[in-house]
Structure 1
Amino acid sequence: MTEIYRGRRLSVNLERITLPDGSERERVVVRPGNAAVMLPLEGEHCYLIRQYRFAIDGWIYEAPAGTLEEGEDPVETARRELVEECGLAAEEMIPHGFIYTTPGFSDERIYLYEARGLSPSSEFTPDDDEQIEVVRLPVADLMAMCRDGRITDAKTIAIAYRCCR
């Protein structure tokens, strides 16, 4: 393995791999660490965030999410990010498995949670580098937005379909 880049959040490596048929190849693998996403649900409504993302130079709707800190359990990440991004605490975090974001070149897993029993949190402290607007909308609108392309964020589509079929 040759490390091409290491940053605060991810590493990029050139790795020699062996395929199931025994042949060997070199591949670039991105290892960003894992994350957690949650869909805060309250009756027939949910909360999303509308966030500016510099990589796409635009605003998108997303379920709140964040990167796991070293040694942090995914459910704790989900609880922390719900407070940081939405100012909400949840009595219950219901797990819905995980997804691989881009398995063609990355090992990133995003753990999926449904947040229930919501209440305002006095610990609301958004990160100073995030531009976020909290949006409350009917679950039916969320699903329509996933179907018609207004929501393009893969983790948000995944958690919507896992929680709100």
Structure 2
Amino acid sequence: MPTARALSSALKRFSRPSAGPEAKALVSGLLKQHGPLSNREMWHLVSKTSPETSTGDNTSIPSMRYLKHIVLEQMGQSGELVKRVINREVPLESNTHATSVSPVKTWRWDFMEAPTQSKTKPVEKAPYGAEVGVGEDFSHLNKRRQRSRVRHVTRDVSWMKELDEVRRIAAERDANV
């Protein structure tokens, strides 16, 4: 029968530590200050700016592995950060010592953009006769059935128009009485 100590040490292998608020604040501050950053750039900045204990250990983010797999992963899953492909221009040197620029795609961590109202689509009004099949896709049917379905929908729409006209006349008659 395993002891409690052996059981707790065995469970540590299966549980993931969570990123502390200091680590999240440090990463957020770096992104606000420097813009989108790669894992390596972020680690270099963290190792420079993070306070160290008397033993030389980084208190909030102890390693690059912790940064990548704990802090950034949790911030990405919570919707605070997103990993994007960004085109960077990298200078290339040729034999003639003339520099040229080459675009390179890199992955960078950045803040998740809040959805704006302008990007939301307005609610579309259903077309007249949607109840009887107007606007539906009949491409899955063979040609004969497509023609027949269109005739039936056209017939039903004309019937709906007649019914609406009768309702309008009845409503006017009831309003006059």
Higher relative contact order (CA 8 A, sep 6+): 1
Fold match by TM threshold 0.5: no
TM-score category, normalised to shorter length = under 0.3
* Larger gyration radius, structure 1 or structure 2: 2
Q: TM-score, normalised by structure 1?
A: 0.23
> Normalising to structure 2: TM-score of the pair?
0.22
